[in-house]
Amino acid sequence: MIATNWCKGSAAYTANPNGTVVTIGNFDGVHLGHHALLRQTLRCAADLNAATCAFTLDPPPVSVLRPTAFNPRLQTLSEKVATLRALGIDEIVVERFDQPFAELSAEAFARQILGERLRARAVVVGWNFRFGKGRQGSVEHLERWLGIPVHGVEPVLFGDTPVSSSRIRKSIQRGALDDAAALLGRSYAVSGKVEHGSARGRTLGFPTANVDITGRLLPPHGVYAVRATLPNGEHRAGVANLGARPTFGQHSPTLEVHLLDWTGDLYGQHLAVAFGEQLREERAFDGPDALQRQIGLDIEAARAVLR
């Protein structure tokens, strides 16, 4: 579920009487680089006694302007909004990105959206921030047009390279989940609705929640130690199989999560699954008995990793 205090489009935004300090970005993953923007936003807002506001676009501009270059996002919109709220941002404005918005001039964006609609008293962006049609606007333009402080935040380095969503995406795809977690500031997680499956896990004595992972960025197939967040906010340790279930001749990827020491019904509800260590690669077994024995070993391995 999407967190409260967000709105679809700046035209629907109810201006805070004290004005806002606005930070602008895609915020895909809300990683350590974004954290630096958010910290600066919170500091400025405290100094000005203003509200904090994150302005973001949906769908991502690249999916409209260069659809063949579009990669799966690190988070859904719901997850992104919830993460921004958890990090202390008061209000989130999600502007629809379409062709008319892409044609909006930099000055119109600054004056109409930031100035008139959001009542920005300060703006926080990345040091190389560009905006408006043809990316013609810059930090200097914002300062001149709005007459307010504009803070360009330097990139956050991890090693010698800036933290970025694309760098995290590559780490996840090659299975370097420790690297991804270091760049995100938390374990990589996906969430989805729990759907009815084949019930093979229950038959084997290890009931699983089958999580819808359609369109999600995923690590390599295999068995993982995980931590799951239930709809009521409870956190549970678990073991998850991500893959095509080759023992049963299936090919479509699924995410099956067995929650340790827990029983209940999650069908139709959303489950968030944070990936920990990969315990083993996906492989086929001679039959259900061999698979059942291996699942028992996987559960003990997950307990040891997550203890």
Last residue of a domain, one of 127, 162, 197: 162
Give the tokens for residue 253.
Answer: 């990827």
Looking at 87-160, which runs of residues are DSSP E strands?
91-96, 120-126, 150-153, 157-158
Give 138-181 pLDDT, tens digit per residue: 999 999 999 999 999 999 999 999 999 999 999 999 999 999 99
CATH number at residue 71: 3.40.50.620
Look at residue 2 in the predicted model and tell me its pLDDT. Answer: 40
Torsion sign, CA atoms 43, 45, 51, 55: negative
Amino acid, res. 251? H
10/149 same-domain check: yes
Q: Average pLDDT for residues 75-83, to the nearest whole number?
A: 95
Is residue 237 a part of any domain in this protein?
yes
194/155 same-domain check: no
Task: Give the count of domains, the chain.
Answer: 2
Q: Is 201's pLDDT higher than 80?
A: no
Q: Is 48's pLDDT higher than 90?
A: yes
146/27 same-domain check: yes
Question: Which stretches within the chain are classed as H helix?
Answer: 32-48, 61-65, 77-86, 99-102, 106-108, 139-146, 165-173, 177-184, 200-203, 288-306
121/13 same-domain check: yes
Smallest Cα–Cα separation from 282: which of 222, 230, 194, 216?
A: 222
119/37 same-domain check: yes
151/205 same-domain check: no
Q: Provide the residue range defining the domain that includes 16.
A: 6-162
191/158 same-domain check: no
Look at residue 1 in the predicted model and tell me its pLDDT. Answer: 34
Instruction: Report the predicted TM-score, pTM, of the whole model to 2 decimal places.
Output: 0.90
99/213 same-domain check: no
Residues 6 or more apart whose Cβ sits within 8 Å of residue 171: 177, 179, 180, 183
Residues 6 or more apart whose Cβ sits within 8 Å of residue 86: none
Is residue 177 a part of any domain in this protein?
no
Helix (H) and strand (E) counts for the chain? 10, 14
Look at residue 202 in the predicted model and tell me its pLDDT. Answer: 60
36/154 same-domain check: yes
